[in-house]
Amino acid sequence: MKIGVPLEVKNNEHRVGLTPESVKSLSNLGHEVLIQSNAGHAIGFTDHLYKLSGAKIIESASELYKSSNLIIKVKEPLEDELQFLRDDLTLFTYLHLAGDPVQAKKLLETGVTGIAYETVTADDGSLPLLAPMSAIAGQLSIVVGSYHLLKPNNGRGTLLSELDPRIVTVIGAGVAGKEAILKAKANHAKVRVVDLNPSKLKQLKNEFGEEGIEFIISSPDAIKKAVSDSDLVIGSVYVVGKEAPKVVTNEMLGDMEEGSVLVDISIDQGGCFESSKPTNHDQPTFVKNGVLHYCVTNMPGAVPLTATKALNKATLPFIKELANKGIKSALDENDHLMNGLNIKNGEIIHPAIKEVLEASN
């Protein structure tokens, strides 16, 4: 199979679909791997390294897409990339269609087969290709949140430390939320964990204990109370294939302290704060009602080398399956991979995404 890896064009996106090591693994299986020139240059994966791994370097995105059967990306195609897509091409990447219905409809019109990392499943019901980026985003949420709490960055002027323990509220205790909890505890914060699932909260209570951490069943009143005196609020709510629910309302911002910080990890699914709007690494924040918002849609792009290696470790087995068996057979034989199929021939395949996009019409 001819596998193409384009240069990512999203703002400050330096991750790349395949590492040289992954290219070598695929080349050794007899597949032809095409890498757009400089696709991995920013993280030290030079064209020379890719050539040594067996890749062919292609100068233009147009030529790369035209010459490929399977495209491996990281982020969803942007407007300028849609022209390269066609109905006999398969795209394997993060799509997050529910977060941007307008762009989703344009992607549908290309006829491309779109398999989304974020809806591929595992035997235990988890999302193995979303998990590594969620883990990174969860850790980064405390890093960027702490940074923006600094007074010169329009924050409250507080430090997460044992000197003056501050309050961090984490809404949504999935993979990202759990990493945020770990990082917040390591910084001696008083942590509040809010989730709808009592069994998940019980599991976390058994794991973390109850010292310095409060476990709260999610409800509008509980969230309002929890965020009102929090220095930092992490939103990590995720519903497979659907837009994130708005768990923090604009009204709740009025109860928060000026200079407190909201970090919306869920922003690539539309955001879980009513006041959220997408930002990028060049201009990551905005202030609304005195509360600083961080809503970068590609948070793991801040650590592209770490993120690329973690992502490849998870995606490579599935890429091999698609390449070795062919797209149709791979999807037919692997229910978990089939769960990743979002769109094909201009139709929405994934039921949850179909529900969301049809409701947006």
Contact 194, 227 (CB under 8 A): no
**What's the one-letter identity of residue 275?**
S
Supply the pLDDT for residue 243: 86
In a domain, 126, yes or no: no
* Residue 96 among the catalytic residues: yes
- Phi, psi at 304, each rounded to 5°: -65, -30
pLDDT tens-digit readout, 30-58:
999 999 999 999 999 999 999 999 999 99
If one counts the domains in the chain, the total is 2
Supply the pLDDT for residue 241: 76
Percent of the chain residues past pLDDT 70, beyond the cut: 100
Of 179, 187, 137, which Cα lies nearest the Cα of 158?
A: 187
The span from the CA of 60 to the CA of 9, in Å, is: 13
273/328 same-domain check: no
In a domain, 207, yes or no: yes
* Domain end marker among 274, 301, 328: 301
In a domain, 336, yes or no: yes
* Domain end marker among 301, 317, 336: 301
* Six-digit token string for 28: 């050794």
* Domain end marker among 279, 301, 323: 301
* Residue partners of 13: CB distance under 8 A and separation at least 6: 74, 75, 298, 301, 304
293/148 same-domain check: yes
The span from the CA of 94 to the CA of 134, in Å, is: 12
| Catalytic choice (100, 195, 264, 268) | 268
pLDDT tens-digit readout, 264-313:
999 988 999 999 999 999 999 999 999 999 999 999 999 999 999 999 99
Supply the pLDDT for residue 114: 98
Average pLDDT over residues 66-90: 97
318/294 same-domain check: no
User: Could you tell me the pTM of the whole model?
Assistant: 0.94
Q: Taking 90 as the threshold, does the pLDDT of residue 335 lie above it?
A: yes
pLDDT tens-digit readout, 224-274:
999 999 999 999 998 887 889 999 999 999 999 999 999 999 998 899 999
Q: Taking 90 as the threshold, does the pLDDT of residue 25 lie above it?
A: yes
pLDDT tens-digit readout, 151-210:
999 999 999 999 999 999 999 999 999 999 999 999 999 999 999 999 999 999 999 998
Supply the pLDDT for residue 359: 77
- The boundaries of the domain holding residue 222 are 131-301
189/281 same-domain check: yes
Query: Which CATH number goes with the domain that contains 36?
Result: 3.40.50.720
288/148 same-domain check: yes
Alpha carbons within 13 angstroms on the beta-carbon side of residue 132 total: 20
Q: Taking 80 as the threshold, does the pLDDT of residue 361 lie above it?
A: no
The span from the CA of 98 to the CA of 241, in Å, is: 6
Q: What is the largest CA-CA distance in the chain?
A: 60
35/101 same-domain check: yes
291/330 same-domain check: no
85/185 same-domain check: no
The span from the CA of 74 to the CA of 12, in Å, is: 13
Q: Taking 80 as the threshold, does the pLDDT of residue 96 lie above it?
A: yes
| Catalytic choice (14, 31, 96, 350) | 96
